[in-house]
Amino acid sequence: MLALTAAVVLLLAVLVAVLAGGAAGGAPSAGHAAVDGAAGASGAGDAPASAVPGGVPSATAVPSPVVPSSAAPGAVPPEDDLRGRVVVLDPGHDGGNGAAPAQIDRKVDAGGFLKECDTVGASTDAGYPEHAFTWDVANRTAQLLRDRGATVVLTRNNDTGVGPCVDARARASADAHADAAVSIHADGGPADGFGFHVIAPDRAPDSVNAGIVVASGRLATQLRDAFASSTGEAPANYLPTHQGIVDRSDLGGLNLSTVPKVFVECANMRNPADAARVSDPAWRQRAADGIATGIARYLTAPAS
């Protein structure tokens, strides 16, 4: 009888132990519960839109917008993003001007007075012409601005034509609804003078440009600073001011403009050192970078 009782007690003890072990193994620990909960949250975030309550996708489920490669996220610093902006570049002179004196010598309105339609432009002593320089730099600048997302319009589409006249060049900016315009040149100053300068508009005799004088001054400052930094070129030493900016009211392209506009004389082609610079494609690329950067800084600067 005692043996039977002992056997029953032992059997009950074993049964209790088995039941207790099963209960412990079937419930996760607090640590496991936290890990599993985190995994579940991550999985919900990656669900397709149709699996998210209300049909509203999470941030990770929203596809990236399709944008042109030139404006791809990360390709352009936010301060240089020029999408939606329009820039007119005016490559000074033209390759056919020299063979068409009657056309380029005719007088056109220049903002309260008459002036020649255009000129042949300067050249280095070795014969590298200003029109070829401006055409090259303008196209390099246009590409850099397009890479930033801007729409760029050039006032001429080749380097073999005649003109256009200065009044037509000025109208091109208004016709394009431009946010800014830059006329690209290289000077023909004294042979012992060197450097670059930016020409900002002063009030024209007929005051057509009165509304863009102040904004053009801001554009001139940004362009001067960026050009000097990019090229290492010093402000022109043969002008009354050595600050790199002059105001003029005798240029039809500035007098007739109704959008912020400046000229940049990138170097003095008649100076041997400057002539070597403008003849160097690598330097012309730096010049283009300076012009593009100055325009971008002007267009993205906080309104004042």
Separation of alpha carbons 168 and 181, rounded Å: 13
**Known catalytic membership, residue 116:** no
Q: How many CB atoms lie within 10 A of CB 40?
A: 10
Among residues 11, 287, 298, 293, the alpha carbon closest in space to that of 135 is found at 287
- Contact (Cβ atoms closer than 8 angstroms) between residue 262 and residue 291: no
Catalytic residue among 116, 130, 233, 265: 265
Q: Would you mind telling me the total number of residues written for the chain in this entry?
A: 304
Cα angle vertex 144, ends 138, 149, to 5°? 120
Structure tokens at 250: 């005798």
Could you tell me which residues come within 8 angstroms of residue 41 by beta carbon, excluding any fewer than 6 positions away? none
Q: How many CB atoms lie within 10 A of CB 167?
A: 18
Cα angle vertex 105, ends 100, 109, to 5°? 130
Separation of alpha carbons 229 and 223, rounded Å: 10
Could you tell me which residues come within 8 angstroms of residue 80 by beta carbon, excluding any fewer than 6 positions away? 148, 293, 296, 300
**DSSP of 59-112:** GGGSPPPP--GGG-TTTS-GGG--TT-EEEEEE-S-TTGGG-HHHHHSEEE-SS
Catalytic residues: 265
